[in-house]
Amino acid sequence: MITINEHYLKLQASYLFSDIARRVAAFQEKNPQIEVIKLGIGDVTKPLPAACISAFHKAIDEMAVDSSFRGYGPEQGYAFLREAIATHDFQARGADIGADEIFVSDGAKCDTGNIQELFSQQTRIAIPDPVYPVYLDTNVMAGRTGSYKDGRYEGIVYLDSTWENNFVPSLPEQKVDLIYLCFPNNPTGSTITKAELQNWVEYARETNALILFDAAYEVFIRDESLPRSIYEIPGAKEVAIEFRSYSKNAGFTGTRCAYTVVPKECRAYDSMGTKQLLHPLWNRRHCTKFNGVSYPVQRAAEATYSAEGKVQVRELADYYLKNAALVRQEMAHLNFRFVGGENSPYVWIDGGRDSWEFFDMLLNKAGVVCTPGAGFGRCGNGYIRISAFNSPENVQKAMTRIREALS
């Protein structure tokens, strides 16, 4: 008899986006004349930068000719892209990361979800609340949690991110082995300072723990004092793996390209307490289960590092950041307290009431869709997330409608 992995039965069906869609559909049926403005999604709306498009075209033409055609590529990514990443994303900022420490992939979602395979079943896991749900769900699937009770899985150490700690969780009181951190944060839009990140690196070094650092929103950082990579922190290479993506910086959500950095000296331990390096393990996993990102997509990603590509990527992020500034301005005017939106495309707003109640009010009174914070974890209740991924015209229109509805 074939039996299932019963850990899947513990998973909470994600009602968040289907619930939102159902409420929006019901509103539109009753109010067909109102054009609903969607500021709920985390997907980009602008097309790929021109530099990426022309590199993409060129690479496709190469695939049409015998002499430049390419079949299976290296699973870890082509040297041209890995070298560009190491040079521009790390060495240029004083982080000593080499091309052979980069693993190119088709998404930070897959990588942050798959990385847990390297660790034992007994690993004690710390996950922020609120959180990008992939970290949690993939550990549930792998059987590292108990069942779901009162909005939380047994066996997980939740790191509360609240107004009081400025949405940067404090070090856990109990011992943990694996820590997920994401900055700039989804959903809160909060950032971490070098000193705060240094605390986490020191904690991991002192307690033989490992940090998984998700920097998918790095491109939105405008405050030069903030770290863009965990490897800007001394001592991080032994204790941290970093995830990056072209989804949000260059609009690759539908094109798919990302990468993971596993430094050569990054370590974990076997059951005898002997140090084991993670680079060969991730390399083995990647080569066994992944066939590499397509050649044209890697050429398009490489183009983000060309002189014109860098300017276009910056303009793209600025475009969304201007929208975020409009949201911040309006929320301040309406006397809501909020974080995010300065170094992040998300603004996290304290509605002073239940998240869903606030969601319904914005939908019914202003025809604007946001994301209720409760969908990202227990600490998200009372908050909503407004995303800057839309046109400036729509964001402006949405803010005017919210002002009229709430004033």
Q: Which residues would be at the binding site for ligand PLP (CB under 6 A)? A: 42, 107-109, 112, 132, 182, 186, 214, 216, 245, 247, 253, 258
Give the DSSP letter string of 90-139: IGGGT----GGGEEEES-HHHHHHHGGGGS-TT--EEEEES--THHHHHH
Please report the sign of the dihedral spanned by the C-alpha atoms of residue 392, residue 166, residue 213, residue 384: negative
Task: Output the six-digit token pair for 146.
Answer: 């108990």
CB of 253 to ligand PLP, least distance (A): 5
Q: Tell me, what DSSP letter sits at residue 275?
A: E
CB of 134 to ligand PLP, least distance (A): 7
Q: Which of 356, 398, 360 is nearest to 30 (CA)?
A: 360
CB of 286 to ligand PLP, least distance (A): 15
CB of 122 to ligand PLP, least distance (A): 26
Give the residue with the Cβ less far from ligand PLP, 126 or 366.
126
CB of 184 to ligand PLP, least distance (A): 9
CB of 242 to ligand PLP, least distance (A): 12
Q: CA separation (Å) from 160 to 126, 172, 260, 286, 378?
A: 10, 10, 26, 32, 9
Give the residue with the Cβ less far from ligand PLP, 81 or 399.
81
Output b/e per residue, 305-327; b: 16+ Cβ within 10 A. bbeebeebbeebbebbbebbebb
CB of 380 to ligand PLP, least distance (A): 14
Give the residue with the Cβ less far from ligand PLP, 213 or 366.
213
Q: CA separation (Å) from 397 to 39, 346, 393?
A: 11, 18, 6
Give the residue with the Cβ less far from ligand PLP, 101 or 106.
106
Give dist(CA 390, CA 46) in Å, integer. Answer: 8
Give the residue with the Cβ less far from ligand PLP, 139 or 366.
139
Give the residue with the Cβ less far from ligand PLP, 145 or 249.
249
Give the residue with the Cβ less far from ligand PLP, 251 or 367.
251
Task: Output the six-digit token pair for 347.
Answer: 């603004």
Residue with the closest Cβ to ligand PLP? 107
Q: What contacts 394, CB < 8 A, 6 or more positions away?
A: 37, 39
Task: Output the six-digit token pair for 373.
Answer: 């914070």
Q: What stretches of 154-209 adopt beta strand conformation (E)?
A: 156-160, 178-182
CB of 232 to ligand PLP, least distance (A): 19
Contact indicator for 132, 214 with CB cutoff of 8 Å: yes
Give the residue with the Cβ less far from ligand PLP, 145 or 247.
247
CB of 111 to ligand PLP, least distance (A): 8
CB of 271 to ligand PLP, least distance (A): 31
Give the residue with the Cβ less far from ligand PLP, 41 or 406.
41
Give dist(CA 46, CA 394) in Å, integer. Answer: 13
Contact indicator for 255, 107 with CB cutoff of 8 Å: no
Residue 27's CB is within 10 A of a number of other CB atoms, namely 17
Contact indicator for 377, 219 with CB cutoff of 8 Å: no
Give the residue with the Cβ less far from ligand PLP, 214 or 330.
214
